[in-house]
Amino acid sequence: MTVAGSDPVSFEELQLAARNHGLPLEALRWPLTPVGLHYLLIHYDIPMVDAAGWRLEVGGRVAAPLSLSLDELRRRPVVSLPVTFECAGNGRALLSPRPRSQPWLVEAVGTAEWTGTPLRSLLAEAGVNADGVVEVLFTGSDRGVEGGVQQRYERSLPLAEALAEDVLLAWAVNGQPLPPQHGAPLRLVVPGWYGMTNVKWLERITVLDEPFAGYQQAEAYRLLDGQGPDGPVTRMRPRALLVPPGIPDFYTRRRLLGPGPCRLEGRAWSGSGQVTAVEVSDDDGRSWAGASLGEPVGRWAWRPWALDWSPPGPGEYVLCCRATDATGERQPSGPVWNRKGYANNAVHRVPVTVTAS
**Footprint of its own copies (CB under 8 A):** 1-5, 8-22, 24, 26-27, 29-30, 34-38, 40, 42-46, 48, 93, 100-101, 103-105, 107, 143-146, 150, 179-182, 244, 247-253, 256
Q: Are 246 and 278 in contact (CB under 8 A)?
A: no
Q: Are 120 and 128 in contact (CB under 8 A)?
A: no
Question: Minimum distance between the CB of residue 101 and its own copies, rounded to whole angstroms?
Answer: 7
Question: Minimum distance between the CB of residue 50 and its own copies, rounded to whole angstroms?
Answer: 12
Nearer to its own copies, 207 or 319 (CB): 319
Question: Minimum distance between the CB of residue 30 and its own copies, rounded to whole angstroms?
Answer: 8
Question: Minimum distance between the CB of residue 222 and its own copies, rounded to whole angstroms?
Answer: 16
Nearer to its own copies, 142 or 279 (CB): 142
Nearer to its own copies, 90 or 324 (CB): 90
* Burial class, 318, CB count within 10 angstroms (exposed 0-12 / middle 13-18 / buried 19+): middle
Nearer to its own copies, 42 or 164 (CB): 42
Question: Minimum distance between the CB of residue 131 and its own copies, rounded to whole angstroms?
Answer: 37
Question: Minimum distance between the CB of residue 26 and its own copies, rounded to whole angstroms?
Answer: 4
- Give which of 277, 263, 256, 354 is closest to 321, Cα–Cα: 277
Nearer to its own copies, 23 or 291 (CB): 23
Nearer to its own copies, 3 or 318 (CB): 3
Question: Minimum distance between the CB of residue 177 and its own copies, rounded to whole angstroms?
Answer: 10
Residue 166's CB is within 10 A of a number of other CB atoms, namely 18
Question: Minimum distance between the CB of residue 184 and its own copies, rounded to whole angstroms?
Answer: 9
Question: Minimum distance between the CB of residue 283 and its own copies, rounded to whole angstroms?
Answer: 22
Ramachandran angles phi, psi of 76, nearest 5°: -85, 175
Ramachandran angles phi, psi of 13, nearest 5°: -65, -40
For residue 12, give the H/E element and its range.
Answer: helix 11-19
Nearer to its own copies, 177 or 228 (CB): 177
Cα-based angle 163, 79, 51 (whole degrees, multiple of 5): 95
Neighbouring residues of 138: CB distance < 8 A, sequence distance ≥ 6: 154, 155, 156, 157, 188, 199, 202, 204, 205
Question: Minimum distance between the CB of residue 260 and its own copies, rounded to whole angstroms?
Answer: 17
223 CB-side CA count, 13 A: 17
Nearer to its own copies, 174 or 197 (CB): 174
Q: Dihedral through CA 52, CA 208, CA 187, CA 48, nearest 10?
A: -50
Nearer to its own copies, 146 or 329 (CB): 146
Nearer to its own copies, 103 or 118 (CB): 103
DSSP letters spanning 262-330? EEEEEEEE-SSS-EEEEEEESBTTSS-EEPEE---SSTBS-EEEEEEE--SSSEEEEEEEEEEETTS-B
